[in-house]
């Protein structure tokens, strides 16, 4: 049993209820990056920055505003080849960012265009829903109903009746996410398996409810 579902001193019936609500995604987050290697660090920064600007122009062409693009990481490191001797390859500058896309039908087109514009890494495509707060509320209501149904069964089996609710505890339940398989355009493969069908997004909730007991 999960430790969060136990009580130190028995006082009634304590049950766990869970529920989830499925919805078609209406939002996608694209995690992409540009990695460029040059002999000088300044040159690596410059060519990477140019690639980022090209991608922003492509996104503007798809009516995706700059506010929908957030930079998550900028990294510079030296690269070496190890064999019979250690050989310096250059400086690699990587700019990673997240693109929030609200027109899912444009997903494949946008991915192709930004790769052609210079993005050589696609770290993931995450599908989500904008109305998550409303869906979570529905899931929580359903979780309470599931907990009460379970408590009614236990009470009936034990020959007692449920009394008032004396304890309610929310249980964190992260939403399940549908993600496209990550790939890098430089891996030499076909760039991933399957298609970009988002499927459904499941928003979940859980609750522990304690009921007092009235004798049968």
Sign of torsion, CA 47 49 54 58? positive
Please indicate, yes or no, if residue 197 is contained in any of the structural domains: no
Is-contact 60 70, C-beta < 8 A? Answer: no
Residue at a domain's end among 103, 128, 153 = 128
CATH code of the domain in which 43 resides: 3.30.70.2970
**What per-residue confidence (pLDDT) applies to 7?**
52
Question: Does one domain contain both 31 and 94?
Answer: yes
Pair (15, 54) in one structural domain? no
Give me the CATH number covering residue 138.
3.30.110.170
For residue 41, tell me if it sits in a domain: yes
Q: CA quadruple 183, 112, 71, 40: dihedral positive or negative?
A: positive
Residue 87: give the domain boundaries: 27-128
Of 69, 104, 128, the residue that ends a domain is 128
In a domain, 163, yes or no: yes
Do 73 and 151 fall within a single domain? no
Task: Name the domain count of the chain.
Answer: 2
The answer to whether residues 79 and 44 belong to one domain is yes
CB 207 within 8 A of CB 171: yes
Do 88 and 60 lie in one domain? The reply is yes
pTM over 0.75: no
In sign, the C-alpha dihedral spanning 167, 172, 176, 177 is positive
- pLDDT tens sequence for the chain (216 residues): 455 555 566 678 999 999 999 999 999 999 999 999 999 999 999 999 999 999 999 999 999 998 999 877 889 999 998 878 889 999 999 999 899 999 888 999 999 999 999 999 998 889 999 898 999 999 999 999 999 999 999 999 999 999 999 999 999 765 444 433 333 444 444 444 445 566 788 899 999 999 999 876
Q: Which of 96, 128, 160 is the last residue of a domain?
A: 128
Under 8 Å between Cβ of 141 and 186: no
Same domain, 124 and 54: yes
The phi, psi pair for 36, rounded to 5°, reads: -130, 140
pLDDT at residue 41, as a whole number: 93
If asked whether residues 57 and 114 sit together in one domain, one would say yes
Q: Please indicate, yes or no, whether residues 141 and 210 belong to a single structural domain of this protein.
A: yes
> Would residue 198 count as lying in a domain?
no
Whether 190 is covered by a domain: the verdict is no
């Amino acid at each position: 049993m999960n430790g969060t579902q136990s009580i130190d001193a028995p006082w009634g019936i304590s049950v766990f209820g869970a529920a989830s609500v499925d919805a078609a995604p209406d939002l996608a987050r694209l995690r992409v990056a540009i990695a460029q290697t040059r002999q000088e660090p300044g040159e690596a920064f410059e060519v990477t920055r140019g690639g980022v600007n090209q991608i922003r122009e492509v996104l503007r062409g798809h009516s995706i505003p700059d506010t929908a693009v957030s930079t998550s990481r900028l990294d510079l490191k030296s690269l070496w080849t190890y064999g019979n001797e250690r050989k310096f390859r250059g400086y690699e500058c990587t700019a990673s960012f997240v693109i929030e896309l609200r027109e899912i039908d444009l997903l494949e087109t946008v991915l192709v265009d930004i790769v052609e514009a210079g993005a050589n890494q696609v770290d993931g495509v995450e599908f989500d829903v904008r109305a998550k707060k409303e869906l979570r509320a529905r899931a929580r209501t359903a979780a309470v109903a599931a907990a009460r149904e379970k408590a009614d069964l236990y009470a009936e089996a034990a020959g007692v009746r449920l009394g008032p609710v004396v304890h309610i505890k929310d249980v964190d339940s992260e939403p399940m996410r549908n993600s496209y398989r990550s790939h890098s355009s430089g891996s030499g493969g076909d760039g991933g398996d399957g298609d970009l069908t988002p499927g459904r997004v499941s928003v979940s909730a859980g609750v522990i409810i304690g009921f007092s007991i009235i004798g049968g």
